[in-house]
Structure 1
Amino acid sequence: MKILTLSLAFNRFGAVLLLFFIIPFSGFAQNVNRGAQVFELNCANCHNFKDDGIGPQLGGLKGIVDKKYLLDFISNPKALIDANVARAQDKYKKFKSYMPGFNHLDPKDLEDVIAYILEKPSPKIPNKKDKWALENPIKEGIPFSGEKITLKKVLKFPFTNTPQVNTRINKMTYHPISKERIISDLQGKIYLLDDKSQLSEFFDISKHFPHFTNKPGFATGLGSFAFHPLFAQNKLFYTTHTEPEIKGHSDFTYGDSLRVKLQWIITEWTLDDPNAKTLKGKSREVMRVNVIDQVHGMQEITFNPYAKLGDSDFGLMYIGLGDGGALEQRRGFIPNNSEHAWGKVLRIDPLGRNSQNGKYGIPASNPFVGKKGLDEVFAQGFRNPNRISWLKDGRIIVSNIGQRHIESLYLLKAGKNYGWPLREGTFAIDSTMSTNTVFPLPKNDAKMGYTYPIAQFDHDEGNAIMGGFEYTGKLIPSLRGKYVFGEIVRGRVFYIPTSEIKEGTQTRIRELKLQMDGLPVTLKELVKANKVDLRFGQDAQGEIYIITKTDGMLYQIVPSL
Structure 2
Amino acid sequence: MTYFKIFIVFCFSQVIILNAGAQTINDYPQDKKTIEDGKALFTQNCSSCHSFTQRGIGPDLSGVTTELTKPALLRFIRNSQSVIEGGNPRGIKLLQEYKVPMPSFEALSNDQMGAILAYVNTYRTKDESATINKFGLAIKDPIPQRIKKSGLTLELEEITTANPSADKIPLARINQMRVLPGKKERSFIEDLRGKLYELKDRQLTEVMDISKQMPSFISVPGYATGFGSFAFHPNFYKNGLLYTIHSEKPRSAPSDFAYPDSIPVLIQCVLTEWKINDPKSGKFEGKSRELLRIDMPTVIHSMQEIVFNPLARPKDSDYGLLYLTLGDGGSAEAGFSFLCNTNTQIRASVLRIDPKGNNSKNGKYGIPAINPFASDNDDKTLGEVFARGFRNPNRVAWTPEGKMLISDIGLNSIEELNLIQAGADYGWPQREGTFFLNSKGKMNKVYALQPDESNFKFVYPLAQFDHDEGNAISGGYVYQGNIEQLKNKYIFGDVTTGRVFYIENEAITSEKPAEILEFDLLFKGVPSTFRDITASRRADLRFGLGANKQFYLFTKTDGKIWKVTGCKSL
**Same fold, TM-score > 0.5, yes or no:** yes
Alpha carbons of 1:164 and 1:367: their partners in 2 closer, same or farther (altered >3 Å)? Answer: closer
* Distance apart, 1:168 and its partner CA: 0.8
Give the 3-state SS of the residue equivalent to 2:289 in structure 1.
strand
**Structure-2 separation of matches of 1:12 and 1:140:** 31
**Structure-1 separation of matches of 2:25 and 2:74:** 10
**TM-score scaled by length of structure 1:** 0.92
Say which of 512, 529, 534 aligns to 2:519. 512
**Structure-2 separation of matches of 1:447 and 1:163:** 50
Higher relative contact order at CA 8 Å, sep ≥6: structure 1 or structure 2?
2
1:95 aligned partner: 98
Does structure 2 retain, via aligned residues, the 8 Å contact 1:253–1:290? yes
Give the 3-state SS of the residue equivalent to 1:199 in structure 2.
strand
Unaligned runs of 5+ in 2: none
Give the 3-state SS of the residue equivalent to 2:207 in structure 1.
strand
Say which of 451, 458, 465 aligns to 1:443. 451
Name whichever of 240-249 and 30-39 sits farther off.
Answer: 30-39
Deviations 1:13-42 (A, max 9, x none): 454444236899999886223222222333
Alpha carbons of 1:209 and 1:482: their partners in 2 closer, same or farther (altered >3 Å)? Answer: same
Matched, 1:183 2:189: yes
2:538 aligned partner: 531
Once the two structures are superposed, the pairs formed by residues 100-119 of structure 1 within 5 Å of their partners are: 100-119=103-122
Alpha carbons of 1:12 and 1:63: their partners in 2 closer, same or farther (altered >3 Å)? Answer: closer
Matched, 1:485 2:485: no
2:151 aligned partner: 146
Deviations 1:407-437 (A, max 9, x none): 0100111000000000000000123321111
Give the 3-state SS of the residue equivalent to 2:189 in structure 1.
strand
Say which of 307, 311, 317 aligns to 1:312. 317
Does structure 2 retain, via aligned residues, the 8 Å contact 1:12–1:489? no
* Distance apart, 1:403 and its partner CA: 0.3
2:229 aligned partner: 224
2:41 aligned partner: 38
Question: 2:41 corresponds to which letter in structure 1?
Answer: V
Question: 2:399 corresponds to which letter in structure 1?
Answer: L
Deviations 1:371-410 (A, max 9, x none): 2310100000000000011111000100000000100100
* Distance apart, 1:74 and its partner CA: 4.5
Alpha carbons of 1:264 and 1:256: their partners in 2 closer, same or farther (altered >3 Å)? Answer: same
**Aligned positions, number:** 550
2:419 aligned partner: 411
* Distance apart, 1:459 and its partner CA: 0.6
**Structure-1 separation of matches of 2:168 and 2:530:** 23
* Distance apart, 1:350 and its partner CA: 0.7
Give the 3-state SS of the residue equivalent to 2:337 in structure 1.
coil
* Distance apart, 1:219 and its partner CA: 1.1
* Distance apart, 1:217 and its partner CA: 4.1
Matched, 1:423 2:431: yes
**Structure-2 separation of matches of 1:223 and 1:399:** 16
1:377 aligned partner: 385
**Structure-1 separation of matches of 2:53 and 2:567:** 52
Question: 1:546 corresponds to which letter in structure 2?
Answer: L
**Structure-2 separation of matches of 1:27 and 1:14:** 23
**Structure-2 separation of matches of 1:240 and 1:16:** 29
Question: 1:530 corresponds to which letter in structure 2?
Answer: R
Deviations 1:495-552 (A, max 9, x none): 0001012215321100011002322111111111111100111013222100011000
Deviations 1:244-287 (A, max 9, x none): 00111211112232221111111111111111111011111111
Does structure 2 retain, via aligned residues, the 8 Å contact 1:536–1:547? yes
Alpha carbons of 1:172 and 1:78: their partners in 2 closer, same or farther (altered >3 Å)? Answer: same
Does structure 2 retain, via aligned residues, the 8 Å contact 1:25–1:111? no
* Distance apart, 1:352 and its partner CA: 1.1
**Structure-2 separation of matches of 1:322 and 1:504:** 27
* Distance apart, 1:79 and its partner CA: 5.4
Alpha carbons of 1:281 and 1:70: their partners in 2 closer, same or farther (altered >3 Å)? Answer: closer
**Structure-2 separation of matches of 1:151 and 1:321:** 32
2:271 aligned partner: 266
**Structure-1 separation of matches of 2:420 and 2:212:** 36
Does structure 1 retain, via aligned residues, the 8 Å contact 2:307–2:322? yes
Name whichever of 390-399 and 247-256 sits farther off.
Answer: 247-256
Question: 1:122 corresponds to which letter in structure 2?
Answer: T
1:452 aligned partner: 460
Matched, 1:158 2:166: no
* Distance apart, 1:447 and its partner CA: 1.7
Deviations 1:194-243 (A, max 9, x none): 2x223211111011111111116431110100000111221111111111
Say which of 350, 357, 364 aligns to 1:352. 357
Unaligned runs of 5+ in 1: 1-9
Say which of 533, 550, 565 aligns to 1:558. 565
**Structure-2 separation of matches of 1:51 and 1:270:** 43
* Distance apart, 1:129 and its partner CA: 7.2
**Structure-1 separation of matches of 2:396 and 2:432:** 19
Does structure 1 retain, via aligned residues, the 8 Å contact 2:389–2:425? yes
**Structure-2 separation of matches of 1:37 and 1:179:** 46
1:124 aligned partner: 127
Question: 1:184 corresponds to which letter in structure 2?
Answer: E
Once the two structures are superposed, the pairs formed by residues 13-52 of structure 1 within 5 Å of their partners are: 13-18=8-13, 19-20=15-16, 31-52=34-55
1:331 aligned partner: 336
* Distance apart, 1:94 and its partner CA: 3.9
2:291 aligned partner: 286
Alpha carbons of 1:390 and 1:64: their partners in 2 closer, same or farther (altered >3 Å)? Answer: same
Once the two structures are superposed, the pairs formed by residues 59-98 of structure 1 within 5 Å of their partners are: 59-65=62-68, 70=73, 73-74=76-77, 77-78=80-81, 80-81=83-84, 85-98=88-101
1:6 aligned partner: none
Deviations 1:167-196 (A, max 9, x none): 2100011222341211100011111112x2
Alpha carbons of 1:279 and 1:38: their partners in 2 closer, same or farther (altered >3 Å)? Answer: same
**Structure-1 separation of matches of 2:434 and 2:338:** 21
Give the 3-state SS of the residue equivalent to 2:338 in structure 1.
coil
Matched, 1:502 2:509: yes
Name whichever of 67-76 and 52-61 sits farther off.
Answer: 67-76
Name whichever of 462-471 and 323-332 sits farther off.
Answer: 323-332
**Structure-2 separation of matches of 1:110 and 1:286:** 40
Does structure 1 retain, via aligned residues, the 8 Å contact 2:497–2:537? yes
C-alpha RMSD over aligned residues: 2.5
Question: 2:507 corresponds to which letter in structure 1?
Answer: E
Say which of 551, 563, 570 aligns to 1:544. 551
Deviations 1:274-316 (A, max 9, x none): 1111101111111111111111011100000011111011111
